[in-house]
Structure 1
Amino acid sequence: MTNILFICLGNICRSCTAEEIFRTMVHKAGHDAAFHIDSAGLINYHEGELPDKRMRSHAADHGYYLTHRSRPITMADFDKFDLIIAMDERNRDNLLSMAPNEAARSKVVMMADYLQHHEDVTIIPDPYYGGAKGFELVIELLEDACEGLLLQLTAN
């Protein structure tokens, strides 16, 4: 089983959406038993909260239902998960500084590295302070990256 943890700042927009999109793709591909999927945030400000209502609404329009409750990353996550996937450079840099050792740092990767159809995109942008177009872009990018991630992990 491959354990995957998606990370963004507050775990209420990007990482929880990546978790649900990837879980949906894994299920449709019949690989449920091959993956443990979760998400977390770098801060605990929204701990216990559902995802942002705007993100839940846009995700639902695409058939994704976000029910994850926000949680902060823990030091134990660095041992538990095989891949810790950051949404942007700041998330990645914070994860790398938190990681207890080189083995843990080697698990930290960028979500945008799995994009297949958005070659010029290097991050999954935070839609929190933007409008509807930002939330839609995040879903589009995450669908692309989650598909690429699944293809890479199931190709072996």
Structure 2
Amino acid sequence: MNHLIEQAGLQESIVCDSAGTGDYHIGSPPDERMTLAASQRGIILKGKARQFQVPDFEAFDLILAMDRENLRDILFLDATGKYGDKVRLMCDFATRHRIRDVPDPYYGGPEGFNQVIDLLLDACEGLLEYVMKTYSLPAKGKVQ
């Protein structure tokens, strides 16, 4: 998503962060196999793993889960139900794929990572379009 935000020249207007629902991998860089799959598409993955925290509900306008299990885990942290309208599945924004849960590629081969990158690119393109329209943000660069 950050790659597309930068391409559109919207890094001053859109903040995108990533967090897992589990505490394993905290502080770790992106998986090497995912980094390779992304780099083959000209995308450089940055950052380190962190865990989703309750204050994230206030910090972000949208909270996107990769699958229904993570969606449930996130909503469980919203004890009052105040933020449910902010939480959605990432693939709700996909336009070319029908899959709604991002599959876990970690126990398969490189094809799983390629499939996930393709699925997430589709979803991120739709998400960027949604955010630009919802918040009336004109692209300053190339939008793909």
Q: State the TM bucket, normalised to the shorter chain.
A: 0.7 to 0.9
Please state whether the residue corresponding to 2:126 is helix, strand or coil. Answer: helix
1:55-109 alpha-carbon deviations (Å, 9 max, x no partner): 1111111111222111111111111111110000000011111113322222110
Distance (Å, rounded) in 1 between the aligned partners of 2:70 and 2:60: 16
Is 1:136 the counterpart of 2:114 in the alignment? yes
Structure having the larger proportion of residues in helix: 1
- Tell me which residue corresponds to 2:105: 127
Q: With the length of structure 2 as denominator, give the TM-score of the two structures.
A: 0.88
Residue 60 of structure 1, aligned match among 33, 39, 48: 39
Residue 148, structure 1, aligned to residue 126, structure 2 = yes
Alignment of 1:62-81 (within 5 A): 62-81=41-60
Q: After TM superposition, which residue ranges in structure 1, 4 or more long, deviate above 4 angstroms?
A: none
TM-score normalised over the length of structure 1: 0.81
Partner of 2:11: 32
Percent of matched pairs sharing the same residue = 40
In structure 2, distance between residues paired with 1:29 and 1:45: 33
Structure 2 runs not aligned, ≥5 long: 135-144
Q: Aligned to 1:31, what secondary structure does the other structure show? A: coil
Between Structure 1 and Structure 2, whose CA radius of gyration is higher? 2
Contact kept? 2:67, 2:101, Cα under 8 Å: yes
The answer to whether structure 1 residue 103 and structure 2 residue 82 are counterparts is yes
Can you give the 5+ residue segments of structure 1 that lack an aligned partner in the other structure? 1-21
Amino acid at match of 2:16: I
Alpha-carbon distance in 2 for matches of 1:132, 1:44: 25
Q: CA RMSD in A?
A: 1.1
* Number of equivalenced pairs: 134
CA distance in 2, matches of 1:28, 1:75: 30
